[in-house]
Amino acid sequence: QGTRDLPPAQAALRDRLLSAVVSCFKRHGAAAIDTPVLELRETLIGKYGEGTKLIYELQDQGGELLALRYDLTVPFARYLAMNKITNIKRYHIAKVYRRDNPAMTRGRYREFYQCDFDIAGQYDPMIPDAECLKIVHEILSDLQLGDFVIKVNDRRILNGVFAVCGVPESKFIPACITVDKLDKMPWEEVRSEMVGEKGLSPEAADRIGDYVQLHGGLDLIERLLQDPKLSQNKLAKEGLGDMKLLFEYLTLFGITGKISFDLSLARGLDYYTGVIFEAVLLQQENEPGEEPVSVGSVAGGGRYDGLVGMFDPKGRKVPCVGVSIGIERIFSILEQRLEASGKKLRTTETQVLVATPQKHLLAARLKLISELWDAGIKAEMLYKKDPKLLKQLQYCEDTGIPLAAIVGEQELADGVVKLRDVATRKEVRI
């Protein structure tokens, strides 16, 4: 349940998608690493907030207690701490596992790919953070998924908001989780969850509401820096200062047109400590004048400066910022689009079919195809002793093989091969 087989057509589409993502990561100088699918259970427990209950655990068959990785970020942090690596720029594309309720048509699975790019190291503020946003912008533009917006916020700003609204620190994370639902439910519902389930006072909830419904750009950052309450909060001030710097860098990158500083963005994971962001695709067919409607998150990430320290015996921190591309949702969009277009993706790369027009020529085919393979040419033949020529040409048309190399009795006698262009039916003897 919640997993799937990928048949050749889908596997070919996914390979294309993944290689677009990999080439962006490589363009930004990232190295690949790999970590096991299996992690010690204790490595994963307590890192994902409410997500912890979705971790797949292995049966105790003697030896270590194991679990399947839930994301690639925690294993990355574990890897850095174990190997005392203090700076690296890496990407990792691999499957992760969550015992969630699957929603397969929307691209939500229990086994799914994550495509992560992270920068670890102590650097000047917001330079790596800005690069992560540039990467999201490049990938979503390259893939031509339509209009999108990248929402940006900072955990420090959110915490500052909660503090100045009178929320006790112990309730910051529950409040965060509830605020994060503002993209899926109206403020009234979010407010009642805060008051009801999370036990905030109605006054605190109303004050939070005034902040978290704001979104904008540099102008909003400037306004909040002047906000009489927020500007008195140390964390919020730091966060807003960095947000301003981030927007300066994004202006130099020329991408602020797609960036929205959005105070409702909270993201569910416990480990974020600074900037957080999430890219959403916007509905295409809205009426003029209407606000574009979001159709779901396709990338997300943020800064997590404390996670590596949790795995280091001396608690030594390695600041990190990273982005994860939501490849499964993008895949299901591209899949639907391909289906709607009626186009068929080739599932193989075969350049030539080795064919014979008469019987008793299997030996000639085997000799020729072997020469082609040895010359690095992608070649196939039918696995029949005496296939009909029509069947062989039909196979080319069905699978998109552009050329047929035909050896008949005449060609053998003349020491030539007849090369046929399958689409035009033109033939040359070579």
Residue with tokens 């805060």: 194
Assess 6 for contact with a copy of itself (CB under 8 A). yes
The pair of structure tokens assigned to 299 is: 């990338």
Among residue numbers 171 through 210, which ones bind a copy of itself (CB under 8 A)? Answer: none
- Least distance to a copy of itself from the beta carbon of 189, Å? 29
Cβ distance to a copy of itself smaller for residue 83 or 144: 83
Assess 363 for contact with a copy of itself (CB under 8 A). yes
- Least distance to a copy of itself from the beta carbon of 143, Å? 15
- How many angstroms separate the CA atoms of 129 and 388, rounded? 61
Amino acid identity, position 268: G
- How many angstroms separate the CA atoms of 58 and 331, rounded? 29
Assess 373 for contact with a copy of itself (CB under 8 A). yes
Single out the residue of 253, 296, 332, 388 in contact with a copy of itself (rule: CB under 8 A): 253
Cβ distance to a copy of itself smaller for residue 79 or 261: 79
Range in contact with a copy of itself (rule: CB under 8 A) among 144-152, 207-215, 366-374, 406-414: 366-374
For 230-278, the three-class secondary structure string (H helix, E strand, C coil) is: HHHCHHHHHHHHHHHHHHHHHHHHCCHHHEEEECCCCCCCCCCCCEEEE
Assess 50 for contact with a copy of itself (CB under 8 A). no
Residue with tokens 């930004």: 28
User: Which residues does residue 103 pair with via DSSP β-bridges, in sequence order?
Assistant: 108
Assess 57 for contact with a copy of itself (CB under 8 A). yes
Assess 249 for contact with a copy of itself (CB under 8 A). yes
- Least distance to a copy of itself from the beta carbon of 59, Å? 4
Assess 3 for contact with a copy of itself (CB under 8 A). yes
Assess 83 for contact with a copy of itself (CB under 8 A). yes
- Geometric angle at alpha carbon 112, from 106 and 117, rounded to 5°: 110
The string of DSSP codes covering 371-426 is HHHHTT--EE--SSSS--HHHHHHHHHHHT--EEEE--HHHHHHT--EEEETTT--
Cβ distance to a copy of itself smaller for residue 262 or 380: 380
- How many angstroms separate the CA atoms of 59 and 42, rounded? 14
399 exposure class (CB count in 10 Å sphere: 0-12, 13-18, 19+): middle
Torsion sign, CA atoms 361, 367, 371, 377:
positive
Range in contact with a copy of itself (rule: CB under 8 A) among 126-134, 174-182, 261-269, 415-423: 126-134
Assess 398 for contact with a copy of itself (CB under 8 A). no
What is the DSSP code (8-state) at residue 108?
B
- 419 annotated ligand-binding residue: no
Residue with tokens 């994963």: 44
Number of C-beta neighbours around residue 355 at 10 A? 26
Q: Crossing angle of helices 202-212/172-179, nearest 10°?
A: 50
Amino acid identity, position 57: E
- 118 annotated ligand-binding residue: yes
Assess 86 for contact with a copy of itself (CB under 8 A). no
What is the DSSP code (8-state) at residue 105?
G
Assess 257 for contact with a copy of itself (CB under 8 A). no
Range in contact with a copy of itself (rule: CB under 8 A) among 115-123, 224-232, 264-272, 295-303: 115-123
Among residue numbers 18 through 47, which ones bind a copy of itself (CB under 8 A)? Answer: 26-38
Q: What mask of x and - would describe binding to a copy of itself in positions 133 to 152, judged by CB under 8 A?
A: -x---x--------------
- Least distance to a copy of itself from the beta carbon of 222, Å? 20
What is the DSSP code (8-state) at residue 229?
T
The pair of structure tokens assigned to 273 is: 């400590």
Assess 384 for contact with a copy of itself (CB under 8 A). yes
Single out the residue of 228, 313, 376, 415 in contact with a copy of itself (rule: CB under 8 A): 376
- Whether the Cβ atoms of residue 58 and residue 68 lie closer than 8 Å to each other: yes
Single out the residue of 49, 100, 111, 195 in contact with a copy of itself (rule: CB under 8 A): 111
- Least distance to a copy of itself from the beta carbon of 323, Å? 15
Number of residues engaging a copy of itself in binding (CB under 8 A): 78
- 272 annotated ligand-binding residue: yes
- 403 annotated ligand-binding residue: no
Single out the residue of 104, 218, 282, 377 in contact with a copy of itself (rule: CB under 8 A): 377
> Which residues make up each annotated binding site for L-histidine?
71-73, 98, 114, 118, 267, 271-272
